[in-house]
Structure 1
């Protein structure tokens, strides 16, 4: 479509390209934050439902364990640049998460510690002075 020597289609393409360039760049930290936030939200939502939400809780707990398995593998890598003490703490939290999940599934523990841990991780990923 041409209007007074102006190609509307080219304008749309240029505008779309500019929007892609001007979109904020995702960082690994922000991606990790989003994943932890989604899993944590699913855990909370399922827990609020009580007994009827148990299948959703099982699914969310499974995904939370996959997340913590990934964290544990990452901090166990000798090439990981995080300080050794922080890596050890994250690995310990992963182990605690696995044990707490088993207890939750058996009806012998509450989900609150898992939510607290994930929330603390989100605060750490967000960094000081950033909202969230």
Structure 2
């Protein structure tokens, strides 16, 4: 059993080492969305887990916002602006979700993350990548 766990760990490290940045970003959004969905289901029973999942999502979006704010970022300017604006929306909506007795739905955050996953997983036009 320990050998299987060791082999899996080696496989996972190899996958990470060979994955491109887009794949790693998509995987991060997928993990966060899974956490958000689970935390939403148990929001009332385990509010700290809900807050932690929202915090991780916010952290991911803060990292993205900082990245697209950097002039060295290679994304087109319009894409960078769109990501920046999405980050601002995520920040504001997260604050609504954290208000006492909030009825704000988590669905907008999940939908935005799913759109990011789709965009990151899409092949670049004309490159086959």
TM-score by length of 2: 0.79
Post-superposition shift, 1:53?
3.1
What residue is the counterpart of 2:33 in the other structure? 40
Q: 1:82 aligns to what SS in structure 2?
A: coil
Post-superposition shift, 1:26?
1.0
Q: 1:78 aligns to what SS in structure 2?
A: coil
Give the root-mean-square deviation of aligned CA atoms: 2.0
Post-superposition shift, 1:32?
0.7
Higher RCO, 1 vs 2 (CA within 8 Å, ≥6 residues apart): 2
Listed as ranges, the gaps of 5+ residues in structure 2 are: 1-6, 125-129
What residue is the counterpart of 1:100 in the other structure? 93
What residue is the counterpart of 2:105 in the other structure? 110
Post-superposition shift, 1:64?
0.5
What residue is the counterpart of 1:65 in the other structure? 58
Inter-partner Cα distance in structure 2 for 1:52 and 1:46: 9
Aligned partners of 2:43 and 2:49 also within 8 Å: no
Aligned partners of 1:47 and 1:53 also within 8 Å: no
Alignment size in residue pairs: 110
Aligned partners of 2:54 and 2:94 also within 8 Å: yes
Q: Which segments of structure 1 move beyond 4 Å, counting only runs of 4 or more?
A: none
